[in-house]
Amino acid sequence: MRTKIIAGNWKMNTSLADAHILATGVRDGVEHIERIETILCPPSIWLASVAHDIVQKGQYPHLHLGAQNMYYEDAGAFTGEISPVMVKEVAEYVILGHSERTHVFGESIELINNKVHASLAHGITPILCVGEDDQTETSKQIVLDTLRKLLDGVSEEDIKKVVVAYEPVWAIGTGKAATPEYAQEVIGYLREILSSDTRILYGGSANDENAKSYLSQPDIDGLLIGGASLKLKVFLTMCQIADDIGQDLGHQSLHS
């Protein structure tokens, strides 16, 4: 059974004080929510501070830290970037290919593919984002073809380590979330080129009101959460929902 993931992408938000309050609030709130993995992805400037807040001698093995982005070179004259060597000092995950990186900063499929290879080479788990700009009859095929290119050259063994996040661009930050049934349809389609062990998340206007409907779908293994991750009570509620569903699935597998 695939362990569910609740990942919070804070994007370019929080002061240092806000980051500390939010991180410690999540740490304390998920102390006994252990059937899922909770991942916090703060701005890179706060990574070390948040790591200090949540990584305490292995006390919270189900709570992890992720970077929002990275470059694929280990070091060099790349002003403003952070390398996989830097990321792995503090984080276990990195978000790659988020639609805001492709649409606002013009990142290419080739660049993202290089980042995927670099993260895997350094033992960092990529949360690889993929999604379509508009909902059309060809959406599923577009997403599948893009994912193939993003994973070009990645071995079958390494594909098991990748976390894929399906994020329909038309649903991100719009309040217009994809229906759980539509998200399941697309994500189920993506499994054609992925391992059965690969975890696939949904991202796009997910919140505490619709989380259960997504997480109850057979192929949706978690959520990549944007704005709702900045609201402590909402985020913890979503973690609890995922944990409850994980418990139910565990009971079902024991009796099947």
CATH of the domain at 114: 3.20.20.70
Which residue among the candidates 64, 98, 100, 132 is catalytic per the annotation? Answer: 98
pLDDT at 255: 43
Pair 64, 40: CB distance under 8 Å: yes
- Split into its structural domains, the chain has a count of 1
pLDDT at 26: 97
Whole-angstrom distance, CA of residue 211 vs CA of residue 209: 6
32 given a catalytic annotation = no
pLDDT at 171: 85
pLDDT at 38: 98
Whole-angstrom distance, CA of residue 18 vs CA of residue 186: 36
pLDDT at 151: 98
Among the listed residues 135, 172, 163, the one whose alpha carbon sits nearest the alpha carbon of residue 220: 163
Whole-angstrom distance, CA of residue 155 vs CA of residue 163: 14
98 given a catalytic annotation = yes
Six token digits for residue 233: 């009570």
pTM of the model: 0.95
Pair 83, 56: CB distance under 8 Å: no
Whole-angstrom distance, CA of residue 102 vs CA of residue 80: 17
3-state secondary structure of 199: strand
The answer for 11, left when phi > 0, alpha when psi is -120 to 50, beta otherwise, is: left
Reading the chain (256 residues) residue by residue, the pLDDT tens digits are 899 999 999 999 999 999 999 999 999 999 999 999 999 999 999 999 999 999 765 688 999 999 999 999 999 999 999 999 999 999 999 999 999 999 999 999 999 999 999 999 999 999 999 999 988 899 999 999 999 999 999 999 999 999 999 999 988 877 777 899 999 999 999 998 999 999 999 999 999 999 999 999 999 999 999 999 999 999 999 999 999 998 866 545 444 4
Range of the domain at 183: 5-254
